[in-house]
Amino acid sequence: MRPVPSPFRPVDDAARTLARALLDGARTAALGVIDPESGGPMVTRIAVASSQGRVLALISDLAAHSRALASDPRASLLIAGPPAKGDPLTHPRLTLQCRARFEQDGRDSLRGTWLNAHPKAAIYVDFNDFRFVSFDILQGYLNGGFGKAYVMTRDDVFG
Amino acid sequence: MRPVPSPFRPVDDAARTLARALLDGARTAALGVIDPESGGPMVTRIAVASSQGRVLALISDLAAHSRALASDPRASLLIAGPPAKGDPLTHPRLTLQCRARFEQDGRDSLRGTWLNAHPKAAIYVDFNDFRFVSFDILQGYLNGGFGKAYVMTRDDVFG
């Protein structure tokens, strides 16, 4: 494959506003992890909540992505807007390159944040095998539609 | 993290039918690749088409996932049904662990398959930087909703 010109535009306020709106509205994401068996990538769907500069997830020990993150904290989240009509390749979406951190403390506060975003999770939030994970953002890639791509910092995304 | 019991159910015909319906209906997927810079996972959205036992994509050299797949063919595709109301964690979805292969031959046939699934791609299908990639399926994970998970073979998925 030959070298190619940068496909990214300079980040502006409109791009930041769009990225923040996507993150604020996110209730689910596609999570990419390193599969400890193959060393390759694995993508699953998880529930997320964004609050106070942090992306939070509640995941079960039974899930393959939990074992993967316990073994390698490198993660990627693909966040898109709510279901919409038309061509999904023209809908804005945000890729976040992250480091996952299993939360050990502050469960009451995390539980409150979580149930605010996901009221129905009250059924299983206290199950023994469910843990809170925070995703610390290292870099973001915003795709605002065909030809509208931006590389973003954590500050661009969280402001 | 302590050892956990297998969360997977035995694959049955209902699970196979569901997986095949998801694949047949798929027009986009979340693609997980290994980012060559960090060695970590990266997830982006791509257009896909499923035809004759093969999952096909048309990707641009300008996209980060293209450079990643050229460097490491290990890939994962998360495929979900069309946008629907209600809790997305209860909607069925399929994770496919794959190996990506840049297609060198048979462009006319691939082009026909692609335009059948994505008529609007006629605008850019012949651009110089767009290439067809096939994803050979190594393993599948079907999540049919809370507590309904299955490990699948390529034959389960393609029949």
Q: How far apart are CA B137 and CA A30, in angstroms?
A: 19
Among B4, B9, B42, the strongest candidate for a mutation testing the A interface, having the largest count of A CBs within 10 A, is B42
Question: What is the tens place of the pLDDT at every residue in A16-30?
Answer: 999 999 999 999 999
CB of B149 closer than 8 Å to CB of B8: yes
Question: What pLDDT is recorded for position A86?
Answer: 72
Mean pLDDT of A57-63: 93
Q: How far apart are CA A17 and CA A58, in angstroms?
A: 26
Question: Which ipTM was obtained for this model?
Answer: 0.93
Contacting residues of B for A84, CB less than 8 Å apart: 83
Closest partner CB to A77 (pick from B4, B33, B43): B43
Radius of gyration of chain A (CA): 16
Contact call for A43 and B63, based on CB within 8 A: no
Give the pTM.
Answer: 0.94
Q: How far apart are CA A108 and CA A67, in angstroms?
A: 24
Cβ-defined contact of A62 to B89 (cutoff 8 Å)? no
> Which residue, among A144, A135, A139, has the nearest Cα to A157 in the 3D structure?
A139
Q: Are residues B38 and A76, on separate chains, in Cβ contact within 8 Å?
A: no
The tokens describing A19, both together, are 């990225």
Size of interface A-B (CB pairs under 8 A): 134
Average pLDDT of the residues of chain A: 91
The residues, any chain, with a CB within 8 Å of residue B133's CB and separated by 6 or more, are: B56, B57, B58, B59, B69, B100, B101, B102, B103
Neighbours of A53 (CB within 10 A): 12
Q: Which two tokens stand for residue A43?
A: 């993508």
A49 forms beta bridges with A56
Q: Where does residue B40 rank: exposed (0-12), middle (13-18), buried (19+ CB within 10 A)? A: buried
Residue A139: other Cβ atoms inside 10 A:
19
Tens digit of each residue's pLDDT, chain B (159 residues): 555 567 789 999 999 999 999 999 999 999 999 999 999 999 999 999 998 778 999 999 989 999 999 999 999 999 997 767 777 778 899 999 999 999 999 999 999 999 999 999 999 999 999 999 999 999 999 998 877 899 999 999 987
Residues in chain A closer than 8 A to B70 (CB atoms): 1
Tokens 């939030």, residue located? A125
User: Contact, A42 vs A96, CB < 8 A?
Assistant: no
Shortest CB distance from B95 goes to which of A27, A38, A44?
A44
Interface test with B, best of A4, A22, A34, A42 (most B CBs within 10 A): A42
Among B42, B47, B93, select the one facing A97 at the smallest CB separation: B42
